């Protein structure tokens, strides 16, 4: 069994209202996968558009929203959910560890590892920014 990654997807880019390169990359991998039945490329874009249309214009009885962290009015409002400075430090260090691992010569020629490092560096930048903001809020 071939267990090597075929591509890498950036979750933050994948869920966009219009077809993205991340969405197309997933389709390309599925198209090339043996024993995987997939719908046609043109149909995929139509279905994706229909999903977002349903999410943004639901019937009155149904409320579909992506990334709804306050489902059915239960739970804290998203703005009140924050990581602490120590949690953000742990996250940053974990991401930096992965950047280091996949930046070593062992992975330097692997295009998927190169793309992963680019994504991880962006996540590290975002975590670092949030960490600085959170430290200001805690003082």
> Cβ atoms within 10 A of the Cβ of 62, count?
7
How distant, in Å, are the alpha carbons of 22, 92, 123 from that of 117?
16, 14, 10
pLDDT at residue 21, as a whole number: 80
Would you say residue 77 has pLDDT above 90?
no
Contacts of 70 (CB under 8 A, 6+ apart): 76, 77, 78
Alpha-carbon distance 47 to 12, whole Å?
A: 20
Give the per-residue pLDDT at 107: 92
Q: Is the pLDDT of residue 73 over 90?
A: no
pLDDT of residue 105: 95
Give residue-wise pLDDT tens across range 4-63: 788 898 877 776 655 578 888 888 999 998 888 988 888 887 877 777 666 555 554 444
Percent of the chain with pLDDT over 70: 73
**Average pLDDT over all residues of the chain:** 80
* pTM for this model (two decimals): 0.70
Across the range 63-86, mean pLDDT stands at 64
């Amino acid at each position: 069994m071939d267990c090597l990654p075929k591509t890498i997807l950036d979750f933050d880019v994948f869920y966009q209202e219009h077809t993205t390169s991340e969405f197309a990359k997933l389709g390309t991998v599925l198209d090339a996968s043996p024993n995987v039945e997939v719908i046609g490329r043109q149909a995929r874009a139509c279905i994706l558009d229909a999903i977002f249309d349903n999410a943004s214009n639901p019937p009155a009885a149904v409320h579909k929203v992506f990334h709804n962290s306050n489902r059915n009015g239960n739970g804290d409002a998203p703005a009140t959910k924050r990581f602490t400075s120590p949690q953000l430090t742990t996250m940053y260090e974990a991401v930096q560890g992965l950047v280091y691992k996949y930046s070593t010569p062992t992975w330097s020629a692997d295009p998927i590892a190169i793309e992963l490092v680019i994504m991880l560096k962006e996540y590290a930048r975002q975590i670092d920014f949030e960490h600085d903001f959170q430290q200001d809020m805690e003082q």
